Amino acid sequence: MAALEAAGSFVLDQLLKMLWLSDLTGALLGALGVDVGSRWGATAHFFVYDTLKITILLCALIFLVSWVESYFPPERSRKIMGRFKGLGGNVVGALLGTVTPFCSCSSIPIFIGFTRAGLPLGVTFSFLISSPMVDVGSLVLIMSIFGPGVALAYTAVGLLVAVAGGGIIERLHMEDQLADFVRGEVPADVDAPVLTRADRARYAAGEVASTLRKVGPYVLLGVGVGAIIHNWIPEGLVLATLGGDNPLAVPLATLVGAPVYADVFGTIPIAEALFGKGAGLGTVLAFMMSVTTLSIPSLTMLSRAVKPRLLWTFVAICLVGMMLSGFAFNALQPLVA
């Protein structure tokens, strides 16, 4: 048992949290004459360490997930999802979203393709909610900061929101709320190309490079905001606004996060800093869910594919699910954090 605990501690501290990188960053900054004990030095340490840690994890995770994704091109995913109906279809749609490392905007063309292929509307919305909110990358990154208990609970709750949201939309029978171009005939089966290991490696490497180009600026921005919060924002201000004593903390964080366009890689440093300043666990996780799933660019794209009633139903379901999740995590924080 002691050996297992030691192995688990090593994986969490050295591979996920990369404490060795934190020590190395501090040593290098110290060698350059930076006092990491000062406010400016601590800000520099937070920025450099978190940027390097997230970039390393991002590259490794995107390569791995993209390799797996190469076995599930859209036509194969459509076949898999088409075999399931009702609740089972919602579950499969949500689970498929976990292996697709898309931001909210990137998920919408896939959602349109699945809908045009004749898949049930609720199933495609379960995918649309799950894809940006819950994936392998978010699981590992959240684990690196908040620990495995919070990461697994966040993933489970995110999947629950996706399944429930898709199920509600399915039962509302809102197919008439789709734009005309989204209503399509079921396409003829197309055989997926056969890929060699070298093909899969090139595809995965290309996805890493593409993802870095797209999310790199958001990572830098998120880490920069996190560094400012961590070292310059008074703890009392964060506690008064987002602490557990404020009953409006969760709705406020959810509504503030909704218009922001970012993905989990740029959002986690901000959540880490807020949590370190005393914000409730559920509050920061609701903020993360909101930022990654709802944003003005993604909702603008979605408004081209669905009519207003379905669009606002989707938004309302997501916001309610996120807020309920936030309140639940705040209540259970002593057990999972």
pLDDT (tens digit per residue) in 243-274: 877 889 999 999 888 776 666 677 888 888 88
Which is more confident, 230 or 282? 282
Q: Provide the pLDDT confidence category of residue 314 given band limits of 50, 70 and 90.
A: very high
Between 137 and 212, residue with greater pLDDT: 212
195 and 203 in contact (C-beta within 8 Å)?
Answer: yes
Q: Which residue has the higher pLDDT, 217 or 31?
A: 31
Evaluate if residue 337 carries a pLDDT over 80: no
**Tens of pLDDT along 119-140?**
888 888 998 888 878 877 778 8
Residue 178: its pLDDT value, please?
86
What is the predicted pLDDT for the residue at 43?
93
Torsion of CA 19, 20, 21, 27, to 10 degrees: 110
Q: What is the pLDDT of residue 102?
A: 56
Confidence of residue 183 (pLDDT cuts 50, 70, 90): low
114 has pLDDT over 90 = no
**Residue 72 structure tokens:** 């599930």
Say which residues have a Cβ less than 8 Å from residue 323's Cβ, sequence separation at least 6: 250, 251, 254, 286
Q: Which residue has the tokens 């081209």?
A: 304
Q: What percent of the chain has pLDDT over 70?
A: 87
Q: pLDDT value at position 320?
A: 94
- pLDDT band, very low/low/confident/very high, at 59 (cuts 50, 70, 90): confident
The overall longest dimension of the chain from CA atoms, in Å, is: 66
Q: Residue for token digits 């697709």?
A: 100
With a cut of 60, say whether residue 288 has pLDDT above it: yes
| pLDDT surpasses 80 at 73 | no
What angle, rounded to 10 degrees, do the helices at 148-171 and 86-98 form?
A: 140
Structure confidence at residue 21 (pLDDT): 92
pLDDT band at 317 (very low <50, low <70, confident <90, very high): very high
- Compute the distance between CA of residue 39 and CA of residue 43 in angstroms, rounded to an integer: 6
Per domain, the residue ranges of the chain are 75-186+215-336
pTM for the model stands at 0.77
Cβ atoms within 10 A of the Cβ of 179, count?
Answer: 14
